[in-house]
Structure 1
Amino acid sequence: MESEYFKRTYKEDLSEYNLEEARGWVINSMNFIEEKMDNAIVNYFNPKDSKNFKKIMLNSSVISTGAKLKILRNIKKFDSKIISKIQEMSSIRNSFAHIPIIPLFKAEKIDGKTSLKRMPDRLEVMNSAGEIKTKSAKEEFKKFAELKKEITEYFKNYS
């Protein structure tokens, strides 16, 4: 019988993830951070019906992550450095979600014979200034994980 739910991965080390798992982990992790952002906004505004406020008003199809960051920027006790880190995290997430990671090869001549050498996977990441930079997918994945850890820690202490 086919399972009616998706199985979770319990890999401890991010280096064990294949491309599809890494992509899914990045998207899921950003959803987790967005949930924390939603909670901070709800706690600040304290709407009468917080469940529906979150479900309808803060729905990502209504208010983008960028718009939520603008709201957080106007909450005085919310750390602006965390907003910058979430923006960076969001940029990496968008690259993993929307840009194909294609294996690159470099032709090398050794003893008169041409061979192909596999190059590290690359991502094109657009920064907040709109500039596109080509970066190592593995390095961006590691940076994303570090940002997630730091931002999650901030939200644990934020009230």
Structure 2
Amino acid sequence: MEKITFDSLTKSKLSEFNKAELQGWIIDQFQQLENRIDLKIIEYFQPNDKIKFEKIVLNSTIINNGGKLKILTNIGVKKTTIEKLRTVARIRNGFSHTRIRQNITIMISDNANNPEKNQILSESIIDVMNSNGKITSKSAYEWIIEFLTLRNELRKELN
């Protein structure tokens, strides 16, 4: 079997992504935020061997994202930052574990003399279950915008 390497994504606009690329991009962006979380924890505890601390103690099989957020809460990271991290994690999970489906809405005008009022809207939708077990539909586009906004804010806040 031939060994292969995987190139980084070369597309520069979200509008160029297909569904799989979009999902992968969101996971990658969240992973970058997780790296910043790890650095914040390392900075606070200042272990003797930072590499081992990160690879062993902060390994996601030992401390998951929720556990790391609890650590951040207890080392003085602002509550608003923690809430933003929870929100981007929910969005990441929505894109990672749920199928993106197309929803088409057709609106027909009651006025037969004005057919221009008829509209066909197509939208990418993600159905997600909240912590109470209720399923709600989210616009993939609106969720991406929220994710981007929060990601940019968190990059500054976690420095």
TM range (shorter): 0.7 to 0.9
Q: TM-score, normalised by structure 1?
A: 0.81
Task: Report the counterpart of residue 97 of structure 1 in structure 2.
Answer: 96
Return closer, same or farther for 1:3/1:15 CA change in 2, 3 Å cut-off: farther
Task: Report the counterpart of residue 40 of structure 2 in structure 1.
Answer: 40
The CA distance in 1 between the partners of 2:103 and 2:19, in whole Å, is: 14
Worse-superposed segment, 12-21 or 139-148: 12-21
Contact kept? 2:106, 2:121, Cα under 8 Å:
no
The CA distance in 2 between the partners of 1:54 and 1:3, in whole Å, is: 28
Amino acid at match of 1:28: D
**Structure 1 regions of 5+ residues with no counterpart?**
111-116
The CA distance in 2 between the partners of 1:126 and 1:55, in whole Å, is: 32
Return closer, same or farther for 1:7/1:148 CA change in 2, 3 Å cut-off: same
The CA distance in 1 between the partners of 2:131 and 2:54, in whole Å, is: 26
The CA distance in 1 between the partners of 2:46 and 2:10, in whole Å, is: 36
**Structure 2 regions of 5+ residues with no counterpart?**
110-119
The CA distance in 1 between the partners of 2:84 and 2:153, in whole Å, is: 9
Identity of counterpart residues, as a percentage?
36
Contact kept? 1:103, 1:119, Cα under 8 Å:
yes
Amino acid at match of 1:88: T
Worse-superposed segment, 34-43 or 2-11: 2-11
Alignment length (residue pairs): 149
What's the RMSD between the two structures over aligned residues? 2.5
The CA distance in 2 between the partners of 1:26 and 1:86, in whole Å, is: 14
Amino acid at match of 2:78: D
